[in-house]
Structure 1
């Protein structure tokens, strides 16, 4: 198991959900994959916005007219499209943290709301990215835009995809696009800038309301890392470039100074740390993921990892729910509201143990 999991490993390879998503979706009920008669004016207005130019890490992409066939790569991009009422013609299977359908609870809820549940005629084509970008299957969907605002595209990937359709690539860093920026970029590409702005505001409002139930979280320092006591890799910490720390900082916590310092000048989303210096990873709370509950006990009993201050104090959040880990790692306007009711209590319990 790679120590950068799930992000690196993914490169190689429900009633409550519906209720939470409905709160965000209510304001977007006017969005759809095709114009209804009552939406004629808004559709015409969206079309008038084109052509649009999207600037990104590989230059710029011009989208001549409002897309009607949308394909996506990586994670997040399909979530955003669905949250904006657009069903992709093609999207990747979720091969880590997903369900038997290669999807997630939040995706399933959104697809059902849009009348495109997996297994129905209107469902997106789903392709594997276990071996990287699936150029062949993407081309089969004949898209008129490919969304990769949050992704790890190489320049070669970008050029090959651009031969299929215009590509919305990430603005600066691979896997470094905040969910708000991904949403804004995709909204612009789809002619739904206003809807995207409202989606961002509504999602942030849902998060703020839920976080207010756990005031003990406010101001606590944290490190989000990966701990593997049985691996030579030992310890990795996620930098300020990653969406996991961004989420925690966004709800009022503070990235530990040791990681702030590591992040300076780095374009990486994680950095290795010697297990021999684990005791120097000082923070109030340490957050990680584990494959099972037994691994948590192994970590706390480890002679090196057990010396991490937060772990010594009992303030370890070790999540063994892969779907929950994915919802924070590949943060989106659909995944974050879904994650709150399970993740925030864990953070709150750890904050209660801070001395």
Structure 2
């Protein structure tokens, strides 16, 4: 997804490329929505996050979500939210994704069902009024870019599970742990994390050429004023590549230092310094990929020069990695890993 949009979303807490899907109504395993199974732990529970602590007195039955990932995790744990954001970038005609649709159908809450969540748009920011209308018991935002103002306003509606440290920086495992605790499904969350990691490991093992390869995950767009941006280890895209045995390039690690930012702007005049085996980027079309290859500055990126540019123009695939979740990752692996392997083979051949 385009970094300039992500940056604007973070700055305004508006999340222009949000995963918005679904709002009020019954959900989950009861007529009142939300929780599909009994609690595996005692309530109340206290969850620490960037804005302090949130106490949840009893197991939530009505769950609302904001931003990306949170709805996926809730669904993966068997809890259908009463309200969740529409997927407005990388989504389908349902305002959803293939992995989300499959899980909703499995839980008896597919499109048109009485249990289907309502959808609200986050194109202009958090949908406070529509979230309030769902009458939630808890609002999940473990992966989000909530500001203090957003958090305070949402907290007047229901207890809010905000991100632990960095906006848009929560890895899917931590999101799953936090949401599992909030929903009284801690043990199920642990099992979900373990099974998802096992799936990733099993699939990645089929591509041994990826092990140890250095990478840079960034955005390349010759037509933009900020033609080059690179994602830091704080972002979920590099986190995913690291999880399958690849290594972030030293040039990015050194430039990041102690920064908590999820990306770094990079001068196109210094593009030749972005040394790695593979460079991964989202592009709006194959035309843009060719423009990168032909650009006199971006074409000097070492991985680009040796044909190891992995340029993805599938918005849904990009979304599945950048907003990684226990539902999206298994869906993405059979497509994304072969693309990376092709880049690795090009690097080996150079």
TM-score when scaled to structure 1? 0.90
State the partner residue of 1:248.
Answer: 241
Contact 2:5 2:16 in 1 (8 A): no
1:320 aligns with 2:316: no
User: RMSD in angstroms over aligned alpha carbons?
Assistant: 1.6
4+ aligned runs moved over 2 Å, structure 1: 1-10, 32-36
State the partner residue of 1:331.
Answer: 324
1:218 aligns with 2:211: yes
Inter-partner Cα distance in structure 1 for 2:286 and 2:305: 17
State the partner residue of 2:28.
Answer: 33
TM-score when scaled to structure 2? 0.92
State the partner residue of 2:151.
Answer: 158
State the 1:12 CA deviation: 2.7
Q: Secondary structure at the match of 1:12?
A: coil
Inter-partner Cα distance in structure 1 for 2:210 and 2:227: 27
Inter-partner Cα distance in structure 2 for 1:5 and 1:344: 26
1:308 aligns with 2:301: yes
1:12 aligns with 2:16: yes
Inter-partner Cα distance in structure 2 for 1:6 and 1:319: 17
State the 1:106 CA deviation: 0.3
Inter-partner Cα distance in structure 2 for 1:293 and 1:126: 32
Structure 2 unaligned residues grouped into runs of 5+ = 18-26, 32-36
What's the CA shift string for 1:149-208, capped at 9, x where partnerless? 000000000000000000000000000101000000000000000000000000001111
1:266 aligns with 2:266: no
1:146 aligns with 2:139: yes
Q: Secondary structure at the match of 2:341?
A: helix
1:96 aligns with 2:100: no
State the partner residue of 1:25.
Answer: none
Contact 1:6 1:96 in 2 (8 A): no
State the partner residue of 2:22.
Answer: none
State the partner residue of 1:109.
Answer: 102
State the 1:232 CA deviation: 1.1
Structure 1 unaligned residues grouped into runs of 5+ = 14-31, 37-41
State the partner residue of 2:338.
Answer: 345
1:234 aligns with 2:227: yes
State the 1:6 CA deviation: 5.1
Instruction: Choose 257-266 or 165-174, whichever is displaced more.
Output: 257-266
Inter-partner Cα distance in structure 2 for 1:165 and 1:59: 15
Contact 1:241 1:263 in 2 (8 A): no
Inter-partner Cα distance in structure 2 for 1:55 and 1:81: 19
